[in-house]
Amino acid sequence: MNRSVVSDAGSGVAFSSRAALWMGVVLGLCLLVTGRHGLAGEAEPLIADPVIEARMAALSEELRCLVCQGQSIAGSDSDFAKDVRREMRTMMENGRSDAEVVEFLVQRYGDFILFRPPVKGATLLLWLGPFILLAIAVAVLVISLRRRGRRAAAVTLSSEELHRAESLLEEKGDRKDS
Amino acid sequence: MTRTIPLVVFAVLVVFFGVGLLLDPSKVPSPLIDKPAPAFTLPQLHDASATISNSDMRGKVWLFNVWASWCVACRQEHPLLVDLARRNIVPIVGLNYKDERAAAIRWLQDLGDPYTVSGHDIEGRVGMDYGVYGVPETYVIDKQGFIRYKQIGPISPDVLNNDILPLVERLQKT
């Protein structure tokens, strides 16, 4: 018992050190890549206003980059994302609200630019779908449980079966005695 | 009965996934279809002192083609546009998008200039108003200045003959 615990712990250590090595390699590669970007790319001007920067950071995470669709506007280095960020900053500096900025972008690029699609006719199934599926699953579960319960209760023995059962029990009892 | 249910669920999933796989996620429907074309006034590519505006095209059906000399796919669709311009069916206005003037003019000299006129949108501001995110893009705009069609990516002969030209013809009759 004790030995197995010790060997488990040992393999745990081995695993984590290997994982650490891999993490190191991946991190190194990341640094390499970003380091090169840092040299090649041009930094975006930071606006002195930290409030606008905070709003930018929050809002641009909610927007999809259309040319690199897995990424947000905040996370993408594409020209498209840079243009959108520049436009957003300009609008915010001019005192436009977040809602106005979003509306501006949706007018041009459609709802697709939003990571969270708005609730409306075309997206109703998208929003309600999971709940509908859940309701169906619960209904199926309830019905099948009930059916099973009824089947279990419905098992009644005929007098013949009862007699046989009794005789079997008796037989067993006899054998024990002997 | 109980055995067919998983099969039916599976079949439904296959249909959903199949349709999903056949869609092209880079084709994003434009919210601008059937809306008035965003207004713009830009310096012309060949003559910076002259301008081109969407209102100059009022009363005509026209194509608005977004292009750039740095855009590889534009090179692919370009012969088609040159040929279309030669047939004199519909005026093509170019939107030279985030491009250097000299490079753009040289590009047209080398490959032919199908454009009635090109606007020079160096900042890409007009492009943003039109929801441009991948060059080339082409809009069909009707006589009243409404966008009726948007092609994202290069126009293929198939798209031109089956979608764009029939639409242009229909719009020209109204």
Cα(B80)–Cα(B48) distance, integer angstroms:
27
> Sorting pLDDT into bands at 50, 70 and 90, what band is A20?
low
Which of B28, B130, B134 lies nearest to residue A112, judging by beta carbons? B28
> Sorting pLDDT into bands at 50, 70 and 90, what band is A12?
very low
pLDDT over 50 at A164, yes or no = yes
Higher pLDDT, B60 or A149: B60
* Domain total in chain B: 1
Q: Considering only A25-34, A71-80, B98-107, which range has the smallest mean pLDDT?
A: A25-34
Which 3-state string (H, E, C) describes chain A?
A: CHHHHHHHHHHHHHHHHHHHHHHHHHHHHHHHHHHHHHHHCCCCCCCCCHHHHHHHHHHHCCEECCCCCCCECCCCCCHHHHHHHHHHHHHHHCCCCHHHHHHHHHHHHCHHHECCCCCCHHHHHHHHHHHHHHHHHHHHHHHHHHHHHHHHHCCCCCHHHHHHHHHHHHHHHHHHHC
Q: What is the pLDDT of residue A172?
A: 74
Within a domain: B8: no
Q: What is the pLDDT of residue A36?
A: 43
Q: What is the pLDDT of residue B111?
A: 95
- B31 contacts A108? CB cut-off 8 A: yes
Q: What is the pLDDT of residue A39?
A: 42
Which of A83, A84, A110 lies nearest to residue B30, judging by beta carbons? A110
CB proximity B122 to A under 8 Å: no
> Sorting pLDDT into bands at 50, 70 and 90, what band is B30?
confident
Within a domain: B85: yes
Within a domain: B128: yes
> Sorting pLDDT into bands at 50, 70 and 90, what band is A149?
confident
Tell me the ipTM for this assembly: 0.77
Q: What is the pLDDT of residue A6?
A: 40
Q: Considering only A159-173, B92-106, B138-152, which range has the smallest mean pLDDT?
A: A159-173
pLDDT over 80 at A13, yes or no = no
Within a domain: B6: no
Within a domain: B65: yes
Within a domain: B16: no
Express each pLDDT in B64-112 by its tens digit: 999 999 999 999 999 999 999 999 999 999 999 999 999 999 999 999 9
The residue segments making up the domain with residue B40 are 26-173
Q: What is the mean pLDDT of chain B?
A: 91
CATH code assigned at B164: 3.40.30.10
Express each pLDDT in B1-18 by its tens digit: 677 888 999 999 999 999
> Sorting pLDDT into bands at 50, 70 and 90, what band is A177?
low
Substitution target in A67, A102, A109 with the highest count of B β-carbons within 10 Å is: A109
Within a domain: B14: no
Within a domain: B9: no
Q: Which two tokens stand for residue B69?
A: 């000399």
